[in-house]
Copies of this chain bind each other. A is one copy, B any other.
Amino acid sequence: MRDDDKYTNTEEHLLYLQKLLDTPDTAALQDFFTELDTLHIARTLESFPAKTRDFLWEFIPEDLIGEVLAEVDEDIRADYIEGLSASDIEKIVKGLDAQEVAEVLDVADEEIKTSVYASLDQDIRAHVENLHAYEEDVVGRYMDPETVNVKQGVSLEAVQRYIRIHHLLDDESQQIMITDKDKRLLGTLTLIDLIKQPQDAVVDDYMDDFFTLNDQMKVSDAASLLRSKELPFVPVCDSDGLLVGQLNSADVLEITQEDADMTLKHMSGVSNEEEVFTPITRSAKSRGIWLGINLLTAFLAAFVIGQFEAALDQIVALAILMPVVASMGGIAGSQTLTVVIRGLALGQLAGNNIKWLYNKEMWVGMSNGLVWALVVGLISHIWFGDAMITLVITLAIFINMSLANLSGVLIPMVLKKLQIDPALSGAVILTTVTDVVGFLSFLGLATLIIL
């Protein structure tokens, strides 16, 4: 049993490890990692920059290295595997399950893969090759191919005995699959029912309705489905309806959390792979793409402003107030965008609902637009005391905020139709629209009304 105080707070835990590293106290480091489980070791390694991490690997118990590798971020795994020989890797993957072996070999080059394949037990090898046959972003890659299957008409007691005799049910199994002779799934039986129901009953009596995922489904689509259904466990079938694996609760947690992370990262222009401890050069490069795209849109906005040189030249107040118009539109639009992206992810937007949503956002945009246009107008009037400027900025804020909310619905909808992830480019496109509309309406109205 664990000493709770030492483990509940992840940060204290980190500080303790840093203290050991400072000396460094190699004996204590060894002890430290011996006490931890695989997951904990993986999370710990992810909490250090590359240099320290390379040093820490030395203290990880040898028999855990394989499992830890399967668990850490892909970048870290690739760094470790690089430079290892095929025979090193053969030793590492010995004793791992198919899912773990597939993870580790994922980052190895083809030559090493083939050589390690040859060293695997027959049935694990078949599973691993199967997993590797899937594209990287489909459900088949994430599933556990080892399921416990029984036939119809068997008693619960017999199922329990069968499991004990054959040492089935690994840590990750959560339901028993009832299949026909072709491995077509007929139903599932929960472990709970297997235990609590009369043992002489047959599995057929307690077969549950089941929902399956197709092995070729994109993981991001699967994530939305799993979120909306709140299923902690799903059988996976191929397109012929044959059972090929299962997603257990850990897989589901992983998929849905990765998806939520991705949305967050994409909305701020950060790439999927970047973590806190991604090395400087990799971070700089991966962020550069979004900075470049943003630059294009920023110059587009500058170009719009440039069309109104005459107005800016005459009235300096326009230059001063200009960012207020763009900024209010930007916030209003991104509020809408976030809510819509969530609705799309949950599959809540289809048919009439979309019309309702446009209508809602039009009213929210116009009413908030009106309120804040009057507030901004008032402040500007107090500041500059110029009725024409007050009129222009009031109108511009109202126009920009109203259109911002509609764009917040329109942009993700169009992106989805084009099969582009709305979180990925939605925010950039939206800001471009609110900047351009903001500057255009403000400076355009000023040119029309004042000049």
Q: Which A residues contact B (CB, under 8 angstroms)?
A: 1-2, 4, 7-12, 14-15, 18, 37, 39-40, 43, 46-49, 160, 163-164, 167-171, 173, 186-187, 190-192, 194-199, 209-212, 214, 224-225, 227-230, 232, 249-250, 252-254, 256-257, 260-261, 263-265, 267-270, 274-277, 279-280, 283-284, 287-288, 290-292, 294-295, 297-299, 301-302, 305-306, 309, 312-313, 316, 318-324, 326-328, 331-332, 334-335, 337-340, 342-343, 346-353, 356-357, 360, 363-364, 367-368, 371-372, 375-376, 379, 383, 431, 435, 439
Contacts and interface: CB of A to CB of B under 8 A. Distances in A.
A265 B39 contact: no
A280 B163 contact: no
Given A1-B187, A194-B195, A260-B260, A305 B323 contact: yes
Contacts of A360: 49, 279-280, 283
A254 B221 CA distance: 19
Contact of A49 (B199, B232, B253, B356): B356
A328 B295 contact: yes
Given A270-B339, A343-B275, A294 B328 contact: yes
B379 A299 contact: yes
Nearest to A21: B352
A294 B434 CA distance: 15
Contact of A326 (B257, B309, B323, B372): B323
B198 A173 contact: no
A82 B372 CA distance: 33
Contacts of A357: 276
A364 B320 contact: no
Given A1-B186, A253-B256, A312-B312, 5 more contacts: A10-B346, A18-B350, A230-B254, A264-B338, A302-B320
B332 A287 contact: yes
Contacts of A318: 319
A229 B36 CA distance: 12
Contacts of A294: 327-328, 331
A284 B368 contact: yes
Q: Is the interface of A mostly helix, strand, loop or mixed?
A: helix
Contacts of A363: 280, 284
Nearest to A11: B350
B253 A367 contact: no
Contacts of A250: 230, 232
B302 A14 contact: no
A117 to B, nearest CB: 29
Given A160-B195, A312-B316, A348 B47 contact: yes
Chain B CB within 10 A, most for which of A192, A196, A198, A261 = A196
A334 B268 contact: yes
* Candidate in A257, A331, A343 with the most chain B CB atoms within 10 angstroms: A331
Which 10 residue pairs of A and B lie closest in terms of their CB atoms, listed nearest first?
A: A10-B347, A276-B343, A260-B260, A319-B319, A232-B249, A47-B348, A268-B338, A11-B350, A298-B327, A249-B249
Contacts of A198: 164
Nearest to A349: B276
Contacts of A263: 264
A43 B228 contact: yes
B343 A324 contact: no
A313 B313 CA distance: 6
B270 A338 contact: yes
Contact of A302 (B287, B324, B353): B324
Contacts of A191: 191-192, 195
B350 A14 contact: yes
30 contacts: A1-B209, A1-B210, A11-B349, A12-B350, A14-B347, A37-B209, A40-B229, A47-B346, A163-B195, A164-B195, A168-B196, A169-B196, A191-B195, A195-B195, A253-B256, A256-B257, A260-B264, A264-B342, A265-B339, A265-B342, A267-B338, A284-B367, A288-B371, A291-B332, A292-B372, A295-B376, A298-B327, A301-B324, A305-B320, A312-B312
A334 B287 CA distance: 11
Contacts of A261: 260, 342
Contacts of A309: 316, 320
